[in-house]
Structure 1
């Protein structure tokens, strides 16, 4: 436990971090973090484009088989987010950031080498373990380094670089999946190579000072922050003088329980857990249903596979545009209102896409959906992460986003059934409405976070 003397020293280190109003590391470190995001969004998207080719080669029939292939990764996501998220709160962000990429590399190479459904299921599960945890860790890691006034801005920079993976994947898939029998294997192989590069680069990342302080590693935290200060001073930055009053106002929390999940069910976190659980669960119903099933449903409706992928690929141009739009306002407006606007845009996109009036409607609907996803999702990741204390930040994210992926599994399974039951328009309109409801819940129950210090938000 931290003694009184160490308590003041710990507060001083946090105060030194809070006076820094810039990203305290070389810009290349943001790119290193973003590469993990790039793989994550590449992998989220590639399975949907690979499945139309995998299904006939593996003789898959019926929604049950498709569910096993599409949703098993989401089950791995939930388990990985929980287990590795808990380990990240106990043993630090850095080692888990390395582990997640190793798992994703292993899973992707295994996906590419799969010879039957059982093998594909195993490696999609392994990929999901790493993917779920990585999406958990990245916003926590960035948030614990970034200044409060620019936390959303910096998170969106990495998110923008990462979401390019979701924009690029359809074009890669279009080039190699329809023309080549083994094109889907190459699609997964590319993802594995990206993950290997990310593992090597992440070895350069520093440990989180906030996490080190919370685990009574004051000297290590001081060393990391000193490196930040020296780097900034070497680049001509002048740091404000520390004031004792500012130091004493800081709330330093230490690790008090091994069961961080139980800690989060105490006040004031119980309501946050409920709100974020509902938000993510309802949002992911539509998100994973569209990403995982849209190409197959279009193909099954009589549109060629190549045309189906092409419509979605053109629409995917909305991803980087949406991320840039959100980046511009990420620290100017309260997070939950930005997310709500994105929820409305998603509904509009689903209604237009669902109309299936013509090819233009499919492209425009896909574009608006892609735009809205990139507009809100990076902000939602950061908003969820920053709403919990450092000692349980990744565990809290896991409880919301991780459990929310149960909704993703439901959406991936049931969208084809909903389309068969209530029609093409009805199915896509439904997954638009679930997102709107999610946005309303977040606006009503969410707390204030924009431009707030992490120690203030989590108090």
Structure 2
């Protein structure tokens, strides 16, 4: 009887996966992409706001450069790594939906606490809480969207949500420019706006369904998986009419175990190692550029307003890069696109390193554009490389450990600039970004393939 029941469950899972993979269009309400995107908007808003706020915070709290950097970057990244793995593991065990509610609740709480902090210990605690939510949310959104999106347009759909989110990174410098240098409590207003955005995103997320792939992976949730799938099929039929016939998928139900344990066998162990190193090198430059550039420009003789203006104008590149990926993410093999993105990054930072106003503007734009091009495509690529039972855990480990590179880069760049030169520091992070692209070329092909085929 037990064997018959197991075979029956396996056949049901195969049917659910085959029905999901035959849907060629985004099969949730279009508004759901906006709901997911608003959460992303806050994520990138917060990534940018701390670097803009720290000069004013350091002055008001009378703290030195080293402690300022630690609070601004390291504490948040520590929380990021811990939250990403713990909540990512919970998402593989208890579901994507519940975990996405938890992450946005934490980020709303953390950002509100940032705004009302009156001393360094309070700010440190709330930056940690914000980091817990942010790290896990980036992980979960990529996994969640990938599990709903059709293979042929998975890259495009994930970039759509990212395009809404990256506007947060483009708009934040302008918001910071209008608040931080103008008002004594401008940095508090900057965090307060983020808290409001996060709270709105939290309320809206209650409308989202659970991933049918995750439900199917848990055999006792097969009926719930079918109900979500029926809703998806009904939405798709309204858009395109009759759906193609489902093609059977090779799906094997394995003995349930803690999600991380799936990752320490081939091919996932090899992918985990490669992707961790790729993200480590990418985040070195990513966080150094986002967190340190304004302060380094100010130290190099530019005013705070001018320093923020260079980055604000350059930030127009974020949505431009994401828009380019809307038409490129599925047209070409994903890992080649990632490499091309890092070439743009390299050129941008080499221009920025010249420390000439026109080149700083151009370099800031290209570096920002490269970030807008790279991030969601690389997030999608990372999520695709792991099985459903450990997708969030795999992404979390990859991204969480990779963020050690972010903490390292953010602390290292000012040292390199001070010890050698402005040009040396920014050329260094230009090279580390390019290395990430070279490493991506060593990974498997994923474009236009089902998640089950990639993870086989």
Could you state the TM-score of these two structures normalised by the residue count of structure 1?
A: 0.96
Distance 2:350 2:400 in 1: 27
Aligned residue number for residue 344 of structure 1: 343
Aligned length: 452
For the 8 Å contact 1:69–1:120, the answer to whether it is kept is: no
Q: 2:136 pairs with 125, 133, 136, which one?
A: 133
Partner residue, 1:458: 455
Tell me by how many angstroms 1:238 deviates.
Answer: 1.2
In structure 1, the gaps of 5 or more residues are: none
1:319 lines up with 2:322 in the alignment: no
Which residue is 2:21 aligned to?
18
Specify the alignment match of 2:352 in structure 1. 353
CA distance in 2, matches of 1:16, 1:333: 26
What corresponds to 2:234 in structure 1?
230
2:438 maps to what in 1? Answer: 440
Contact in 1 for aligned 2:51/2:72 (Cα 8 Å): no
Which residue number corresponds to residue 285 of structure 2? 286
1:168 partnered with 2:197:
no
Render the CA deviation track for 1:383-424: whole Å, top value 9, x for unaligned. 000110000001110111111001101111111111101110
Deviates more, 1:125-134 or 1:233-242: 233-242
Calculate the aligned-residue CA RMSD, in Å: 1.2
> For residues 8-51 of structure 1, what are the alpha-carbon distances to aligned partners after superposition, in whole Å with 9 as ceiling and x for unaligned?
12211111111110001111000001111100000000001001
Partner Cα separation in structure 2 for residue 140 and residue 394 of structure 1: 6
1:273 and 1:400 in contact (8 A); partners too: yes
Does 2:55 match 1:52?
yes
Kept in 2: contact 1:148–1:453 (CA 8 A): yes
Distance 1:428 1:262 in 2: 39
Name the CA distance, whole Å, in 1 between partners of 2:68 and 2:46: 20
Shift of 1:236: 5.4
Write out per-residue CA displacement over residues 274-308 of structure 1, whole angstroms, 9 at most, x where no aligned residue. 11000101100000011001011111221110111
Moved more, 322-331 or 2-11: 2-11
| Alpha-carbon distance, 1:257 to partner | 4.0
Q: For the residues of structure 2 that align with 1:253 and 1:172, how far apart are their CA atoms?
A: 50
2:173 and 2:315 in contact (8 A); partners too? yes
- State how far apart, in whole Å, the 1-side matches of 2:373 and 2:407 are: 23
Task: Report the counterpart of residue 269 of structure 1 in structure 2.
Answer: 268
| Match of residue 307 from structure 2 | 308
Do the aligned partners of 2:387 and 2:451 also contact (CA within 8 Å) in 1? Answer: yes
Listed one character per residue, the Cα deviations across residues 126-172 of structure 1 (whole Å, up to 9, x for unaligned) are 00000000000011101111100010010111111110000000000
Q: What is residue 108 of structure 2 aligned with on the other side? A: 105
Q: How does 1:75-114 map to 2 (within 5 A)?
A: 75-114=78-117
- TM-score, with normalisation over the residues of structure 2? 0.97
Residue 439 of structure 1 and its aligned partner are, at CA, apart by 1.2
Matched, 1:397 2:401: no
